[in-house]
Amino acid sequence: MADLESAPANPDDGLLRQIEQAISPADILLIINTSGSTAAPKSVLHTHGTVIRLSHAMVGMRGYKRTDRLWNSAPFFWLGGLNVGIFPVLDVGMAYHIGTQKEPKAILEYVAKNGITFASTWPWEAAAVRKDPDYPTYRDAMSNLWHGFENWLNGEDGKPVPDNRIPLLFGMTETFGPYIGECELAPLPTSKAGSIGRPMEGIEIKIVNPETGQDLGADEEGELWVRGYTLMAGYLKRERFDTFTSDGWFPTGDRCRIDSDGWVYTSGRMNDLIKIRGANVAPREVESVLAQRPEVREAIVLTVPDSEGIEQLIAVVILSAGLTVTESSLRDYCRQQLSAYKVPTRIVVRADVDIPRTVSSKVIKRLVRDDLMKDEFRAMSK
């Protein structure tokens, strides 16, 4: 191979061919760090073959064309900056606008001025943009934008389809993003409302009993396992048998079921790890920080959707006998100890007798969440 360090600034086709011939689809292209399903940092290895094939599939699933213009707010060290952004953009040859704008007004002005056709945002960004008082005016100015801040898909009656029929893309860092999902050009069938879709071509999935590893039947809920070309090569410094089964299946940690037609429905994670604003948060970490305060006897961390349907991180605390504390002081303490996205949106005081528990005294978070899903929390300020 040619000496790349001494390569000319404008290499000729011969040098480029030598470089291409030196690369195999099996070579590692990039490493992405993720906290995974155990809150322990892991480094995911992805090959050229996985990244390029999945990126090409994303072009088709999202309907990218060479004439499109993508505005994407996800940075390149996040999966969304790679598998929705830079790699599919390079595949199709369209324009990429790096979304450095953060305020809703600035986003609207930029998208309208630059003729953006795709705006890829985090859910809370889209919600903030929709809430801007000038949004209706800017929407008229964004005539080129067909996919962005709201659901613009229309149903058979010409009206926007309900949220549970909006097609989604479902995946994880270990699969370089989506491996389940429907084409974003059409709403889900009414009979499949609430589904996350079907596996992409070339991907195998199944549902197993997480305790026995036995395959489950249609509509039986268990752990989702995946096998196929989007799957990572492995974790850095982890042996293959620690990660995959002997026949190549990867246990995702997602709790799902598959109906008799092959459509997948998910009900969350097999463990407590939750995702807030695109980042994984281990409740145990936040709970342990809150428990360091002498006023807090026990902390329970979970998510509750607000009025926009965006999951917000909520902490429920049980105070030590005879002590009091303000919500603001606890949140200030969390800010000193945790990354910003791990700081609870609200911290709520509850009495011990109000916390539902199992016979072994474990907190039943599902029932705690049900208790919190009241108007005062669903309408909480961002």
According to DSSP, the residues that pair with 95 across neighbouring strands are 69
Main-chain dihedrals φ then ψ at residue 90, nearest 5 degrees? -65, -35
Give residue-wise pLDDT tens across range 309-368: 788 999 999 998 889 999 999 999 999 999 888 999 999 999 988 898 865 567 888 889
Range of lowest pLDDT (186-190, 223-227, 265-269, 316-320): 265-269
Q: Assess whether pLDDT exceeds 80 at residue 17.
A: yes
Q: CA 325 to CA 225: how far, in whole Å?
A: 45
End-to-end distance of the chain based on CA atoms, in angstroms? Answer: 54
Q: Assess whether pLDDT exceeds 70 at residue 204.
A: yes
- List Cβ neighbours of 157 (8 Å cut-off, separation of 6 or more): none
Give residue-wise pLDDT tens across range 70-88: 999 988 888 889 999 999 9
Q: What is the mean pLDDT of residues 232-236?
A: 96
DSSP 321-333: TT----HHHHHHH
CA angle 374, 378, 382 (to 5 degrees): 150
Residue spans of alpha helices (H) in the chain: 13-22, 48-62, 79-81, 87-92, 104-113, 123-131, 135-141, 283-291, 327-337, 365-372, 375-378
In this prediction, residue 27 carries a pLDDT of 96
Q: CA 366 to CA 303: how far, in whole Å?
A: 10
Is the model's pTM score more than 0.75?
A: no
Average pLDDT, the chain: 86
Half-sphere exposure of 14 (CA within 13 A, CB side): 4
Q: CA 139 to CA 146: how far, in whole Å?
A: 10
Nearest one of 165, 158, 73, 160 to 119, comparing CA atoms: 73
Q: Assess whether pLDDT exceeds 50 at residue 37.
A: no
Q: Given pLDDT bands bounded at 50, 70 and 90, which one contains residue 231? A: very high
Q: CA 309 to CA 377: how far, in whole Å?
A: 11
CATH number assigned to the domain with residue range 274-378, chosen from the 4 options 3.30.420.40, 3.30.300.30, 3.40.109.10, 3.40.50.620: 3.30.300.30
Mapped onto helix, strand or coil, the DSSP state of residue 281 is strand
Mapped onto helix, strand or coil, the DSSP state of residue 57 is helix
Is the CB of residue 298 less than 8 Å from the CB of residue 284?
no
Q: CA 63 to CA 152: how far, in whole Å?
A: 15
- Burial of 342 (C-beta count, 10 Å sphere; 0-12/13-18/19+): buried
Q: What is the dihedral of CA 301, 256, 360, 35, to 10 degrees?
A: -40
Helix axes 123-131, 104-113, angle to 10 degrees: 90
Q: CA 78 to CA 55: how far, in whole Å?
A: 15
